[in-house]
Amino acid sequence: MTDIEAAALTTGGDVGYLRVATEEAWATQEIVDEWKRMIEAGEGGRGFHSLVGHYMTSDAERPRFVRAGLVDSDELRLGHMDAAGIDHAILALTAPGTQALDGSRGRAIATNANDILAEAVERHPTRFSGLAAVSLEDVPSAVAELERAVAKLGLRGLIVNSHIRGRYLSDPEFWPILEAVEALDVPLYLHPNTPNDSMIGTLHDSGLDGSVFGFQVETSMHALKMITSGVFDRFPELRLVLGHMGEALPFWLYRFDYMHAGMVAAGRYPAIRPLERKISDYIRENVWMTTSGMPAPEPILFSRKVLGNNRVMYAMDYPYEYVPDEVRMQDALPLTPAEKKSFFQDIAIDVFRLEESKLLSR
């Protein structure tokens, strides 16, 4: 603990950069109460019960810590940020957000959440930014709420907690939302959820449906579905952010390109069509990635190498993962001071269009 306490004194200014944590989980008491009601009522499906049931009802130490941290945007969270040396956190409604809810309940809860998050940012403008949540079930109202949350409330992007009760953003039904994201010049953060109920069985039977494995299956699949469906040909300026070191997409670039080209050439699937660029091009040019839950240096350095130096940014994943030593691991990355400033601070400022002067006024 001595090292951690010492590190707490090391604020961003001292080390040459601000530490901006870009995938930080948050919830309103209202949505927590609604989730608990659904758990008790048996609503919401297998993935919902596995994930939310665990974090909202387990008596074990880690879920209790998560429950307390999620709904706080004042002393508790700021104290932990101070202790870990985090200057600024980008908060977003945690999985599954309102995406397990039907449209009418989801819409009201998401709108309230955006208001409450904007108030937290207003209370602590140097410490917090926020992403907008919308109910994706009704597309026109989702677009309207996103526009309100960005233009009126000052939120910095859209959080999507993967599947929308089994549907995906590759479905053109959702494309007006993507069009609005692009037009508003904000990023879409595609956060994990448990795999949709039609594919969760084998994973859940083995306890592998959650963050240990199923999250990355679900989220990398969602991103690939978006790419292969032509989302980024239609919206070439759309900025997608993935956590967990890109859900391992950087590992597969060669194979994605080779096999996708083979499928296109063979006409194997109706859903696989020629694209304007290679799969790896979209991953390199439309996707940014954060290190939430992936603080080990090797995957970070690997991803920087294959993607370029301006694609990978820091995240903690608080309160699911609160390990101040992981901040120190990333402080110690073998990067130049300028590269480290970019990794911890400048890429986030650029991707989320943060107001640098506000951050630096801390």
Considering only residues 139-168, where is the footprint of a copy of itself by CB under 8 A?
A: 166, 168
Whether residue 96 is preceded by a cis peptide bond, meaning omega within 30 degrees of 0, is yes
User: How near is the Cβ of 250 to a copy of itself at its closest, in Å?
Assistant: 8
User: How near is the Cβ of 266 to a copy of itself at its closest, in Å?
Assistant: 4
Q: What are φ and ψ of residue 186, in 5° steps?
A: -120, 160
Among 225, 284, 328, 353, which residue interacts with a copy of itself (rule: CB under 8 A)? Answer: 225
Note whether 299 binds a copy of itself by CB under 8 A: yes
Note whether 334 binds a copy of itself by CB under 8 A: no
**Active-site pick, 317, 325, 331, 346:** 317
x-or-dash string of contact with a copy of itself, 179-198, rule CB under 8 A? ----------------xx-x
User: How near is the Cβ of 178 to a copy of itself at its closest, in Å?
Assistant: 17
User: How near is the Cβ of 308 to a copy of itself at its closest, in Å?
Assistant: 13
Distant-in-sequence, close-in-space partners of 324: CB < 8 Å, separation ≥ 6: 4, 7, 8, 83, 84, 85
Indicate if 317 belongs to the active site. yes
Among 126, 120, 18, 137, CA closest to 70: 120
Nearer to a copy of itself, 284 or 341 (CB): 284
Nearer to a copy of itself, 258 or 338 (CB): 258
Helices (H), 134-209: 139-147, 175-184, 201-205
- What is the rounded distance in angstroms from the CA atom of residue 307 to the CA atom of residue 293? 19
Helix (H, G, I), strand (E, B) or coil at 59: coil
User: How near is the Cβ of 289 to a copy of itself at its closest, in Å?
Assistant: 12
Contact 142, 76 (CB under 8 A): no
Region near a copy of itself per CB under 8 A, out of 68-76, 84-92, 93-101, 224-232: 224-232
Considering only residues 50-69, where is the footprint of a copy of itself by CB under 8 A?
A: 54, 58, 60-63
Nearer to a copy of itself, 183 or 253 (CB): 253
Nearer to a copy of itself, 76 or 301 (CB): 301
Contact 103, 38 (CB under 8 A): no
Q: Annotate 320-353 with b (16+ C-beta within 10 A) or e (fewer).
A: bbbebebbbebbebebeeeebbbbbbbbbbebbb
Nearer to a copy of itself, 156 or 191 (CB): 191
Contact 190, 215 (CB under 8 A): no
Note whether 325 binds a copy of itself by CB under 8 A: no
Nearer to a copy of itself, 95 or 146 (CB): 95
Among 79, 2, 10, 5, CA closest to 332: 10
User: How near is the Cβ of 50 to a copy of itself at its closest, in Å?
Assistant: 8
Q: Give the CA count within 13 Å in the CB-facing half-sphere of 280.
A: 15
Q: How many CB atoms lie within 10 A of CB 297?
A: 14
DSSP structure class, residue 99: T
User: How near is the Cβ of 69 to a copy of itself at its closest, in Å?
Assistant: 15
Burial class (CB in 10 A: 0-12, 13-18, 19+), 266: exposed
Among 181, 245, 313, 316, which residue interacts with a copy of itself (rule: CB under 8 A)? Answer: 245
Region near a copy of itself per CB under 8 A, out of 5-13, 114-122, 302-310, 351-359: 302-310
Distances (CA, A) of 263 to 154, 256, 270, 272, 273: 43, 10, 10, 7, 9
Note whether 253 binds a copy of itself by CB under 8 A: yes
Q: Which residues are catalytically annotated?
A: 317
Q: Which residues bind a copy of itself (CB under 8 A)?
A: 54, 58, 60-63, 166, 168, 170, 195-196, 198-203, 205-208, 210-213, 216-217, 220-221, 224-225, 228-229, 244-245, 248, 251-256, 258-260, 262-263, 265-272, 293-296, 298-299, 302, 305-306, 321
